[in-house]
Structure 1
Amino acid sequence: MAIKLYGDPGSGSRRRVTTAAALMGIELEYVNMDLFKGDSHTPEFLKLNPHGLTPVMVDGDTVLYEAAAINVYLAEKVGSDLLGTTARERYEVLQWMFWSGEQWRVFATTLFNERIVKSVMGEAEDPSIVGLVERNVRAAAAVLDTHLADRSFIVGDRLTLADIDVAAPFSQSHRTRIPFHEFPHLVAWQQRLLDTVPVWAETKREIDERIDRVLAEAGRGR
């Protein structure tokens, strides 16, 4: 039975799972959802995730939401080194995945809601929320920029799930205008991922096409 993944092709979190699965050679059955039309709030879907959020993975009797948990599950299922090759690396990968959720992605998601979702809905962004987000992003980015000053990847000398998690906010950065450009090592690392990990570039194109369509349908252009 194929592993099902429910999600919107424009979601950076879905991108995290589709990228990791492709790198691990795991075939997924995609159940595409339109978050802008409320597909994740139907009674049927809320049985899978009562929060009404995606992605959600269904593997037989195992139902998981939260992309980080899904990726750890998939990595353990196939014994992938994306979770690290030693106990120390594994803990470092998990550390950065947790860091990403606490210090990083939550603010990128908030900015996406302010500048993209509100735009689609014809609402104005809230300057106080944007200011709060940018202050927190700059604080976290300064730490990450220093960490990446003398290394090519977040953990060790190769790609891991930590890179995929931490890189996710770049999915919409040119639209949300999140201030990543102020941090040169961070920008160089992200470009390196696009240049050396073909599936990361491929999933970026998928997201761009999806969000471009949403904005065009809402009359908001790019």
Structure 2
Amino acid sequence: MIQLYGHELSGNSYKVKLMLSLLGLESVWIKVDLLKGTHKQPEFLALNPFGQVPVLVDREAVLADAQAILVYLARQYGGESWLPLDPEGMSRVMRWLSTTAGEVRQGPESARLYHLFKATSINLERATQKSEFILTQLNDRLAEQNWLELGHPTIADVAVFPYVALAPDGKIDLTPYPNVLAWIDRIKHLPGFVGMTGISEPVTA
């Protein structure tokens, strides 16, 4: 069975957990206690020398980095829908994985680290500015379409979603971005959606 090593407050761990659930895949969650430094111990470093969560183990495959794991899951289990093979479609989706590791990380993710985990080495003013930039870009993008690319959910949406939805943890107000809020709600209503601390599951009648 697939094993997912992660931490319950990690948005990157969560996006892999979410993808597994959206694909209907069973997995075993193995907590890596970041606060106790478990990710820096030899046993975990043998899985990922970078000392970062998440790590996914699927039979002989041992994979690190959330975006890379999304690519693996999409191609291994998701067919053409989540990550197409045609060059243009794949390029459009991959662009958002880069955005996740760039602007989203520098913006909402960094602001959350500052406030939630007291990471005072982070430049909060810069993180706030980056947050406003990427949220404005997303809001404009989502004014024209329901999903980031290709007219349906892809791993682009799964990659960008967690730290945008968690932006309030970093004291980033999402109210000025109604199209982003509507997109968050659409993702929450996908079959198989699961939440995490800070991202509630939709209320069903």
Q: Same fold (TM over 0.5)?
A: yes
1:50 is aligned to 49
State the partner residue of 1:215: none
Q: SS in structure 2 opposite 1:139?
A: helix
TM-aligned CA distance change 1:100 to 1:208, over 3 Å: closer
Letter in 1 for 2:58: D
Counterparts of 1:45 and 1:65, CA distance in 2? 11
Q: 2:58 corresponds to which residue?
A: 59
Whether 1:82 and 2:76 are equivalent positions in the alignment is no
Distance (whole Å) between structure 2 residues aligned to residue 99 and residue 93 of structure 1: 10
Cα distance in 1, alignment partners of residues 3 and 181 from structure 2: 33
Are the aligned partners of 2:107 and 2:134 in contact in 1 as well (CA < 8 Å)? no
Contact 2:97 2:160 survives alignment (8 Å):
yes
How is 1:10-49 mapped onto 2 (pairs within 5 angstroms)?
10-49=9-48
Aligned partner of 2:10: which letter? Answer: S
Given candidates 140, 145, 150, the residue that maps to 1:156 is 150
Which residue of 2 is the match for residue 111 of structure 1? 111
Residue aligning to 2:67:
68
* Contact 1:134/1:179, CA 8 A, preserved across alignment: no
Change (3 A) 1:152 1:73: same
Equivalent residue for 2:136, pick from 142, 162, 171: 142
Distance 1:198 1:178, change over 3 A: farther
Cα deviation, residue 130, structure 1: 1.1
- Cα deviations across residues 142-166 of structure 1 (Å, max 9, x unaligned)? 2221111121111122211111111
Shift of residue 198 of structure 1? 5.0
- For the structure 1 residues 198 and 79, does the alpha-carbon distance in structure 2 shift closer, same or farther, using more than 3 Å as the test? closer
2:23, 2:78 within 8 Å by CA — same for their partners in 1? no
* Structure 2 residues without counterparts, runs of 5 or longer: 200-205
CA gap 1:106/1:135 in 2 versus in 1, 3 angstroms: closer
Task: Tell me how far 1:73 sits from its aligned partner.
Answer: 0.7
Q: Distance in 1 between matches of 2:147 and 2:165?
A: 18
d(CA) in 1 for partners of 2:171, 2:51: 27
Residues 143-195 of structure 1, C-alpha deviations (whole Å, 9 max, x = no match) = 2211111211111222111111111113432322124332221122112222x
Q: Distance in 1 between matches of 2:168 and 2:136?
A: 19
Q: Secondary structure at the match of 2:123?
A: helix
Q: CA deviation at 1:70?
A: 0.5
Matched residue type, 2:109: T
Letter in 2 for 1:35: L
Q: Which residue of 2 aligns with 1:218?
A: none
TM-score normalized with structure 1 length? 0.80
Which consecutive residues of structure 1, in runs of 5 or more, have no partner in the other structure?
Answer: 210-222
**Contact 2:22 2:191 (C-alpha < 8 Å) held by counterparts:** no
Q: Percent identity over the alignment?
A: 27
Report the residue type matching 1:172 in the other structure: L
Cα contact 1:105–1:168 (8 A) shared by 2: no
Alpha-carbon distance, 1:85 to partner: 6.9
Greater percentage in helix = 1
Instruction: Give distance in 2, aligned partners of 1:198 and 1:175.
Output: 26
Q: Distance in 2 between matches of 1:145 and 1:89?
A: 21
Note the aligned Cα RMSD (angstroms).
2.2
